[in-house]
Amino acid sequence: MKHVYTFFTAGMLTVFSLASCRHSSSSATAQQPLVQDSTLQADTANVKGAGHQIKKGAAYGKTAVCCESNIPSRFKLASVNLDEDSLAGPASSGSHKNMVYVKGGDFMMGGDSKQSAPDEFPKHKVILDGFWIDVTEVTNAQFAAFVKATGYKTTAEKKPDWEELKKQVPPGTPEPDKSLLVPASLVFKPTSGAVELTDYSQWWSWEKGADWKHPHGPKSNLKGRENYPVVHISWFDARAYCKWAGKRLPTEAEWEWAARGGLKNNIYPWGNEPISTGKPKANTWEGNFPYRNTLKDHFYNAAPVKSFQANGYGLYDMAGNVWEWCADYYDNRYYQTINKPAGVKDPAGSKVSYDPEEPYAKKRVIRGGSFLCNDSYCSGFRVARRMKSTEDSGMEHLGFRCVQDK
């Protein structure tokens, strides 16, 4: 795999440290094909969540869809202080509003299908204590209350620092132009037609002024979106909110146990029925990525929380909508180190971060998939699917939910 450590600039497009967008699973095709049939006839569709007119195609060809083998990395901040007194929130540890209790137990963690990636193996026994978990992803309204109470500024609202950024890239990487080191975040921009799916700088735009209050860029806002998941949230931002709320981020093992909803060795939160079969089950991408979404689920971007059926534990959007941060470092070798016949109790993740595709970057696990995921390629909405991004990354399809121990 060829790695690209440079800036891709085309108009407003500026994304740093983008790796070639290829699924690392040996089960996937080695080279992703050019998306075909860009001249399909279309009908206007009544859809939600888009700031422009969306066309719904009468027909489309199924193609491989790139759902980032690496989620794009954002510029690194100079420092993040999670111990400030201002983050001490009013919530008590005994408050479980909008949460459900997931009983402890044991399960086999890891891949369940031919789409599983190498880092989902070996499938291994995990034993967990019970915990409380948010019923939904944290919403804009909830995050706004946190910001109002603390004055907190997110990663996307701060200027990146080159001295920290250069630690994530190979030695000798040149400093970017100062005009690029501005408060900004990554926004999805559909292409006008078929493109090669090995370069996701084509549909991610480094947008000055994009942040949690402006999810689609500086001209967007949160009016009418109070019940949507908050996005453009870095791992640091998510952990700061958790501290204020008297909660924490879930471990990767807790997240997968909760996502399975009581089902054993099933592929999705709802069971084994393919996502394309029957009624819409989650907010994902249907059609030709990254330019044509047939909108079977009625949403183009993120959807309001609770728009789709909950899993067996009463949890919403454990598949699709937006990716969710976990507490753990990402290490592609981690499952190999904890695979024991008796199982592992309450695993807290690797002690180090390691992604062979970007070995200099410190990454955390993200789970659940997003509105950009498609079953023909990454199937990020599988309960075992592991993804990762740098701690400072904030994007239009990345949010979080919290857990509590008591």
| Per-residue 3-state assignment (H helix, E strand, C coil) for 145-189 | HHHHHHCCCCHHHCCCCHHHHHHHCCCCCCCCCHHHCCCEEEEEC
Do β-strands 124-128 and 105-109 pair in parallel, antiparallel, or remain unpaired?
antiparallel
% helix / strand / coil in the chain, to the nearest 5? 15, 20, 65
Q: What is the pLDDT of residue 397?
A: 97
Note the pLDDT of residue 70. 53
Per-residue pLDDT, averaged over 273-294, amounts to 93
Q: Are 109 and 384 in contact (CB under 8 A)?
A: yes
Flag whether pLDDT at 62 surpasses 50.
no
| Sheet architecture: strand order including 403-404 | 99-102, 131-134, 403-404
Region 235-250: mean pLDDT is 97
> Is the per-residue pLDDT at 280 higher than 60?
yes
pLDDT for 258: 98
Beta bridge partners of 56: 43
Q: Is it the case that residue 352 has pLDDT exceeding 60?
A: yes
Residue 395 has pLDDT above 50, yes or no: yes
Q: What's the confidence (pLDDT) of residue 46?
A: 36
The two structure tokens encoding residue 261: 């909803």
* Residue type (1 letter), 46: N
Question: CA–CA separation, 315 vs 84, rounded Å?
Answer: 31
Instruction: Considering only residues 74 and 236, tell me which one the structure prediction assigns the higher pLDDT.
Output: 236
Question: Which pLDDT value is given to residue 53?
Answer: 34
pTM for the predicted model, two decimal places: 0.83
Residue 79 buriedness (CB in 10 A; 0-12 / 13-18 / 19+):
exposed
Query: Do residues 375 and 64 touch, judged by C-beta distance below 8 A?
Result: no
More confident residue, 12 or 249: 249
- Write the pLDDT tens digit of every residue in 190-231: 999 988 877 888 899 999 999 999 999 999 999 999 999 999
| DSSP-derived 3-state class of residue 67 | coil
In the beta sheet, which residues pair with residue 345? 127
Average pLDDT of the chain?
82
pLDDT of the residue at 51: 38
Say whether 51 sits in a helix, a strand or coil: coil
Check if the beta carbon of residue 328 is closer than 8 Å to that of residue 349: yes
What is the predicted pLDDT for the residue at 64? 31
Architecture of domain 1-79+87-406: Alpha-Beta Complex (3.90)
Chain-centre distance for alpha carbon 348: 20
Query: Rounded to whole angstroms, how far apart are CA atoms 198 and 20?
Result: 5
More confident residue, 153 or 171: 153
pLDDT at 182: 94
Say which residue the tokens 């941060």 belong to: 325
Q: What is the pLDDT of residue 318?
A: 98
Least confident of 49-63, 98-112, 177-191, 325-339: 49-63
If residue 9 lies in a helix (H) or strand (E), which one and from where to where? strand 7-10
Check pLDDT > 70 for residue 36.
no
Percent of the chain clearing pLDDT 70 (strictly above): 76
Considering only residues 83 and 40, tell me which one the structure prediction assigns the higher pLDDT.
Answer: 83
The predicted-structure confidence for 43-61, as pLDDT tens digits, reads as follows 333 344 443 333 333 322 3
d(CA 137, CA 146): 15
Least confident of 66-75, 164-173, 259-268, 317-326: 66-75
* Residue that has been written with the tokens 């993804």 in this structure: 387
Span 377-387, mean pLDDT? 91
With contact defined as beta carbons under 8 Å apart, do 156 and 143 qualify? no
Query: 325 forms bridges with which residues in the sheet?
Result: 366
- The residue type at 125: K
Torsion region of 201: left, alpha or beta (phi above 0 gives left; psi -120 to 50 gives alpha) = alpha
Res. 164 pLDDT band, cuts 50 70 90: confident
More confident residue, 365 or 88: 365
Contacts of 222 (CB under 8 A, 6+ apart): 140, 144, 213, 215, 228
Q: Which of 68-82, 250-264, 365-379 has the lowest mean pLDDT?
A: 68-82
Percentage, residues of the chain above pLDDT 90: 66
Average pLDDT on 353-366 reads 95
